[in-house]
A and B are shown apart, each in its own frame.
Chain A
Amino acid sequence: AQTVTQSQPEMSVQEAETVTLSCTYDTSESDYYLFWYKQPPSRQMILVIRQEAYKQQNATENRFSVNFQKAAKSFSLKISDSQLGDAAMYFCAYNSGGSNYKLTFGKGTLLTVNP
């Protein structure tokens, strides 16, 4: 079974600084999808960024980028120029694609942004 591990239960960053959230996963698949979701205090999960495993180029969405290391099964999220609105719980998730419709989530990292 696939597993997703987030080793940092909590992280903090100063406003305008950069922070990196770690995620590792375990799979025997060669093609799959990885995601970062954000859950603010409102509880509504929002997709931040996604990465297809067959793409070597790291995904980027404005201030959010990933460092995808397929061989190491590592998928970290970098948030640049952190803003107070970035404070939230961040979840890493995995999906093997194809006929699989379930997302497997890590336990999350709580990010605090200090003014």
Chain B
Amino acid sequence: GAGVSQSPSNKVTEKGKDVELRCDPISGHTALYWYRQSLGQGLEFLIYFQGNSAPDKSGLPSDRFSAERTGGSVSTLTIQRTQQEDSAVYLCASSRGRTDTGELFFGEGSRLTVL
């Protein structure tokens, strides 16, 4: 596609429910990132996928969070048993590879609200 596409744009859920957030990166981009942006905070790294390598999951805040990337393209971030502190904007980004050029291309994010 022309850009990074994320869905849903907004999601309201009840505490304890599971949610799935989807990211469709730019075609041909091998690297995919998930970041979390909480109110008044910067962007917090969650997880990184690069090609067929094992993902870097070091930023996932708890075992309720997981992500997968199928076929080296679309990625799904899953949050199980959501808590109110999970409320945030979840941003997905993709790039051609290493980030030393800084060329991360971001989607518009999925705003999650946990009631």
Contacts and interface: CB of A to CB of B under 8 A. Distances in A.
Interface of A: 4, 33, 35, 42-47, 50, 91, 93, 95, 97-108
B102 A43 contact: no
Contacts of B41: 107
A91 B102 contact: no
Interface string B37-54: 000111101001010000
Contact of A106 (B42, B98, B101, B108): B42
B25 interface: no
A90 to B, nearest CB: 11
Contacts of B109: 43-44
Interface of B: 3, 31, 33, 35, 40-43, 45, 48, 50, 56, 59, 89, 91, 93, 98-104, 106-109, 111
The secondary structure that dominates the A interface is loop
A91 B42 contact: yes
B100 A102 contact: no
A21 B3 CA distance: 28
Nearest to B45: A102
Nearest to A103: B99
Contact of A101 (B3, B98, B108): B98
